[in-house]
């Protein structure tokens, strides 16, 4: 059942969080949004999400750093992580993939593509 699995959506732009979250909820997903990587690190322990979808460029800790922090914790070592970012750069994409992310998607988000990746990664 989709509703039992939670997507943690991380971005520093409230409008992006709202639009992406609404699109995912309309497609049957349960979504929790947080603004920024620091809030994500706090929320991840409470929420224990099925997947993290995170922006790359955020004030303070960026998406790459957030991914690496999450991976340091044994409990989340295999948690699927998707970069959703405005950075359409070959080297950034390559770095994200080399880190071990599930996907690197550029904004504006193609919700169908994002949903397909989420379903593949969380077994829906």
- Domain regions of the chain by residue span: 2-122
Q: How far apart are CA 21 and CA 57, in angstroms?
A: 18
CA distance 39 to 14: 14
pLDDT truncated to tens, each residue of the chain (124 aa)?
344 799 999 999 999 999 999 999 999 999 999 999 999 999 999 999 999 999 999 999 999 999 999 999 999 999 999 999 999 999 999 999 999 999 999 999 999 999 999 999 998 6
**C-alpha–C-alpha distance, residues 124 and 116, integer Å:** 9
Burial of 53 (0-12, 13-18, 19+ CB in 10 A): buried
Q: Report the distance separating Cα 63 and Cα 40, nearest Å.
A: 10
* CATH architecture for the domain at 2-122: 3-Layer(aba) Sandwich (3.40)
What gap in Å lies between CA 88 and CA 96, rounded to an integer? Answer: 12
């Amino acid at each position: 059942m989709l509703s039992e699995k939670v997507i943690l959506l991380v971005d520093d732009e409230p409008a992006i969080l709202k639009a992406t979250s609404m699109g995912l909820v309309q497609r049957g997903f349960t979504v929790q949004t947080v603004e920024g990587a620091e809030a994500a690190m706090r929320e991840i322990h409470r929420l224990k999400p099925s997947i993290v979808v995170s922006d790359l460029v955020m004030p303070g800790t960026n998406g790459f750093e957030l991914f690496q922090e999450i991976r340091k914790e044994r409990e989340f070592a295999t948690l699927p992580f998707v970069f959703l970012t405005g950075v359409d750069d070959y080297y950034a994409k390559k770095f994200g993939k080399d880190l071990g992310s599930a996907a690197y998607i550029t904004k504006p988000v193609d919700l169908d593509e994002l949903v397909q990746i989420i379903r593949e990664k969380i077994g829906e």
